[in-house]
Structure 1
Amino acid sequence: MDTLAVDLARFQFAFTVSFHIIFPAFTIGLASYLAVLEGLWLKTGKEKYLQIYKYWIKIFAISFGMGVVSGIVLSYQFGTNWSVFADKTGPILGPLMGYEVFTAFFLEAGFLGVMLFGMDRVGKKLHFAATCIVAFGTFLSAFWILSVNSWMQTPAGYSINELGQFIPESWWEIVFNPSFPYRLVHMLLAAYLTTAFVVAAVGAYHLLKAPHNPLARTMFSMAMWMAAIVTPIQIVAGDFHGLNTLEHQPAKIAAMEGHFQSHKGAPLILFGIPNEETQQVDYKVEIPHLGSLILTHSWDGEVKGLEAFPADEHPPVSIVFWSFRVMIGIGVGMFFIGLISLWLRKKRTLYGTPWFHRICVAFGPAGFIAVLAGWITTEVGRQPYTVYGLLKTIDSASPIDAAAVSVSLAAFVIVYFIIFGAGFFYLIRLMRKSPTRYEEALDSRLPDGTDTSPVSHSNHLT
């Protein structure tokens, strides 16, 4: 195979899937948020929840549509650039992808119209059911897609026939392969946090403009509760995921941690510059023994380095090393933002602290960056395999030349930046629109200046 053609095909898939992944990461969490809002409205009768629902459902509809369009392109690439991979893994991955269409996509497509246009045409309970079904559909979609990708990371329940194809032997083992539960939980929590920080950024942006905006206060408060509660859970889930990866893909962990040599009492390398020629990390800042403590839960536990694996099975260390640190760094930032929000909430100044609101606005896209960094860590760390340990990337590509791939890659880059650039621009415009006019909040004030709105009496979510 032409290695340049393979590299271009890899870059093309990375480019298109990077655009795609940010939309499910947002819509999974946003669909659940909409279900919560509508449920609170039905339970409490408070109009603010309905108004916030109507504000975000427009953003959800556009994001969902962009996610569908960007996802369709990925399927075509299996046939054009990765036909050998499709042929060898088709008996297993084909049905799993089909299950995603027959369950998740049909649920989403069937009830999305009711959710978007049925508020005044069907009963409240039926509309709420439609919202919940769409939210469940996004979960099912994540379930099947992550099952597919997890099987590629930790293949199980298969045999290989005389044609070199992977044949299913146990669908239970295929679907619930060793890494799937950890990856599913980690991705779902990442989606919820991604949505929470987008909602927080929008709420904070409007609080900076109008501190008494009641809807902005409510959405900001709900987002901060999510950040404070879910981020610590995500850190624990990430630790379990890392231990699972250590068991099944130790070379990936070695690259993530920057360990070229095996160590007992391995340090935790915080920063440095991996040098694959000298097989060491230059200018490193490390904490002795902490790497072993995290990975083996032992102060002097042994952590394998890349030297323990054949040289042709090493993933690109620098990419994996830095993408992992970007993800971890953002996670730490989210954790501290959650802690600060609890402190400000206790002081009853959550809505009156502009410096904190500016931090939250800046952190709005952080969830997307963390998801992309995590995806890069997972997928590049799996190299040089498409099916880990069994099918190499170089052996998975279609027999096409580099020129053909470069033309389609250039077309994708141009079209994506035009179409999705316009979509992003419109989404930002929607988010910049105030969820309620400042004058409406002022209308609740008495002639003596007393604020009669519920949010004036408590900074807690009511």
Structure 2
Amino acid sequence: MDFDALLLSRLQFAFTIAFHIIFPSFTIGLASYLAVLEGLWLATKNEAFKTLYLFWIKIFALSFGMGVVSGVVMSYQFGTNWSVFTEVASPVIGPLLAFEVLTAFFLEASFLGVMLFGWKKVGPGLHFTATTLVAIGTIISAFWIISANSWMQAPDGFTQLADGTLRATNFWDVVFTDTFPERLAHMLLAAFLTTALVVGGASAWRLLKNRADPESNIALRMAIGMFAVVAPLQLVVGDLSGKEVLEVQPAKLAAIEAFWETRTDQAFHIAAWPDRAAEKNHWEISIPKVGSWIVAGRSDAEIKGLKSFAPEDRPPVAIVFWAFRVMVGLGIAMILLGAWGAWLIWKGGGPEKHPLFLKASILMAPTGFVAVISGWIVAEVGRQPWVVYGVLRTRDAVSPVGAGEVSASLLAFMVVYAIVFSVGALYILRLIAEGPKPVPEHDTQPPLKPRPPGYALGAAPDAPEETGR
């Protein structure tokens, strides 16, 4: 394998995005979870919800910080490793990334301080509002990032000038491309599932040690509810997204399913060993004649095989094929875990009384991250050899730099990431292992006392009168 600047730049981007996506996929769901916890505490006055909030907000703060740091590196690479792409496509997707900063990041930054440090300084209404706005900000951020990426997957609403640069002709067509709705829903549901799996695993860990832990019992049941509802919904959304890929990126779809020949009775390959050079699968475990029905919703639908595309237009088949199956396999496992947990709750005994379920929940805790990374591999590797599908090839988008410079920066990133993010991840795991603990009342905000006359939203109750005025 020739490690030229193009391959090294692709490896560097893959390395950094694999680290980065771990944190947004967690904090998007965790921010919403925190808003739900605080809302339930205010509505029910159940102190267990406050304890859970004060515990998970520490995890959120660390994850959010590491996500911001790794996100800066992603932006840095656009200018250093992919300057041609930046020059050609920035007039179209630049505004989308700018709107992400102006709407989402500013919203998060404005209220994150209140959320993290205002517990004893502002009233309950304002604090809950801050938590909710941070959660909304994470979703808005996902909106713009997925919009930009979806445009790269199925570009629309633009024209190409004589010098090769692109210009937007219809802003709404740029934002809302054909694949955008399904991909946004797919990403948000993946984030909620990722958070639920971590919360469920952490709670199960505590319950194995103390079955009567009230906070962990509540958190585990909330996580099971998310598994049971969102995991099956994610399967439906994923199927809709796959059918959209069939229309706009048929080569990617053929790689996902390892279809080589164009036919109407495609088999569904449960497992196979695709060979790009030989243009065939060396072995297959398949269900005959149902591939067309699964992919297109009709058994008589003609599905193009990879041989219908020029060899230079085909994505790496084996990587895409297996990444997709890892994602789907883990999704099915999540559905089964949710059904198992819901059945245990319905029986009345409770999941905390079943060590096997608790151990399964612990084992499943990191699978959301694996599924998200696998999904991004399918999306990004499956788009190859294009960086803007059908418009700009990846080999033409790379910066005019040498392999030495890229390899040096890649090595530096690997060393720094190994140190910084390993320490951060280990500290988060340590906090999770300690579990939620009730906080003494004098150490927290006392917003649920009777409100005195003239109490205003956002004013700290029982605030001492200022002197010297």
TM-score range relative to shorter protein: over 0.9
Q: Please say if 1:186 is aligned against 2:186.
A: yes
Q: Does 1:61 align with 2:61?
A: yes
Once the two structures are superposed, what CA deviation does each residue of 1:145-177 show, in whole Å capped at 9, x if it has no partner? 000100000000000112211101010000001
TM-score by length of 2: 0.92
Determine the C-alpha separation between the residues in 2 that align with 1:260 and 1:8: 29
Query: Post-superposition shift, 1:314?
Result: 0.3
Letter in 2 for 1:107: L
Q: Which amino acid aligns with 2:131?
A: T
Instruction: Please state whether the residue corresponding to 1:128 is helix, strand or coil.
Output: helix
CA contact (8 A) 2:258 2:317 kept: yes
If the length of structure 1 is used for normalisation, what is the TM-score?
Answer: 0.93
Q: How does 1:202-217 map to 2 (within 5 A)?
A: 202-217=202-217
For 1:291 and 1:427, locate their aligned partners in 2 and report how far apart those are by CA, in whole Å: 43
SS of alignment partner, residue 99 of structure 1: helix
Q: Show the counterpart of 1:429.
A: 430
* Aligned-residue offset at 1:281: 1.4
**Residue in 1 aligned with 2:380?**
379
What amino acid is aligned across from residue 6 of structure 2 in structure 1? V
Residues 264-293 of structure 1 show CA distances to partners (whole Å, capped at 9, x for unaligned) of 111110011111222221221001122111
CA distance, structure 2, for counterparts of residue 79 and residue 296 of structure 1: 39
State the AA in 1 paired with 2:366.
P
Contact 2:79 2:86 in 1 (8 A): yes
1:4 Cα offset (Å): 1.1
What's the CA shift string for 1:7-55, capped at 9, x where partnerless?
Answer: 0000001100110001000000000000000000111111110110001
Residue of structure 2 in register with 1:363 after alignment? 364
**Partner residue in 2 for 1:258:** 258
- Structure 2 residue aligned with 1:306: 306
Q: Deviations over 1:189-229 (max 9, x none)?
A: 00000000000000000000101100000000000000000
Structure 1 distance, partners of 2:419, 2:272, is 37
Moved more, 257-266 or 57-66: 257-266
Unaligned runs of at least 5 residues, structure 1: 438-462
Classify the secondary structure of the residue corresponding to 2:4. helix
Show the counterpart of 2:329. 329
Inter-partner Cα distance in structure 2 for 1:321 and 1:331: 16
The 3-state SS of whatever aligns with 1:162 is coil
Query: Gapped runs of 5+ residues in structure 2?
Result: 439-469
CA distance in 1, matches of 2:401, 2:437: 55
Residues 108 and 75 (structure 1), Cα distance of their counterparts in 2 relative to 1, 3 Å cut? same
Structure 1 contact 263–302 (Cα < 8 Å) conserved: yes
Q: Hey, what does 1:291 align to over in structure 2? A: 291
Matched, 1:95 2:114: no
The one-letter amino acid paired with 1:402 is: A
Give the secondary structure class of the aligned counterpart of 1:413: helix
What residue in structure 2 maps to residue 4 of structure 1? 4
Counterpart residue identity of residue 297, structure 2: H
Spell out the pairing of 1:37-52 with structure 2 (5 A cutoff): 37-52=37-52
User: How far off is 1:434 after superposition?
Assistant: 2.6
Q: Deviations over 1:396-431 (max 9, x none)?
A: 001111011000000000000000000000000000
Partner of 2:412: 411
Q: Secondary structure at the match of 2:353?
A: coil
Deviation at 1:3, TM superposition (A): 7.0
The residue identity in structure 2 corresponding to 1:168 is: A
Indicate conservation of the 8 Å contact 2:29/2:191, yes or no. yes
Q: Any conservation in 1 of the 2:263–2:303 contact (CA below 8 Å)?
A: yes
Q: 2:78 & 2:234 partners in 1: Cα distance?
A: 32
Identity between Structure 1 and Structure 2 (%): 51
Matched letter for residue 407 of structure 1: A
Task: Check conservation: 1:31, 1:135, Cα contact below 8 A.
Answer: yes
Residue 170 of structure 1 aligns with an amino acid whose one-letter code is N
- Equivalence for 2:449: none
What residue identity is the alignment partner of 1:377? V
Contact 2:55 2:437 in 1 (8 A): no
| 2:346 paired residue number | 346
Counterpart Cα distance in 1 of 2:182 and 2:53: 31
Q: Is the 8 A contact 1:293 1:301 kept in 2?
A: yes
Contact kept in structure 1, 2:55 and 2:435, CA below 8 Å:
no
Distance 1:174 1:330 in 2: 32
C-alpha separation between the residues in 2 aligned to 1:80 and 1:295?
39
Q: In 2, Cα distance between the equivalents of 1:290 and 1:426?
A: 47
Give the Å deviation of 1:186: 0.3
Alpha-carbon distance between aligned partners in 1 of 2:406 and 2:147, rounded to the nearest angstrom = 28
Counterpart CA distance in 2 for 1:277 and 1:91 is: 38
8 Å contact from structure 2 (residues 30, 192) kept in 1: yes
Against the structure 1 CA distance between its residues 171 and 3, is the aligned structure 2 distance closer, same or farther, given a 3 Å change threshold?
Answer: farther
- Structure 1 residue 80 corresponds to structure 2 residue 74: no
Kindly report structure 1 stretches of 4+ aligned residues shifted beyond 6 Å: none
Instruction: After TM superposition, give the deviation of residue 183 of structure 1 in Å.
Output: 0.5
Q: 1:231–1:331: 8 Å Cα contact kept in structure 2?
A: yes
The 3-state SS of whatever aligns with 1:120 is coil
Aligned 8 A contact 1:5 1:405 in 2: yes
Q: Distance in 1 between matches of 2:131 and 2:278?
A: 55
Residue of structure 2 equivalent to 1:397: 398
SS at match of 1:194: helix
Give aligned pairs, total.
436
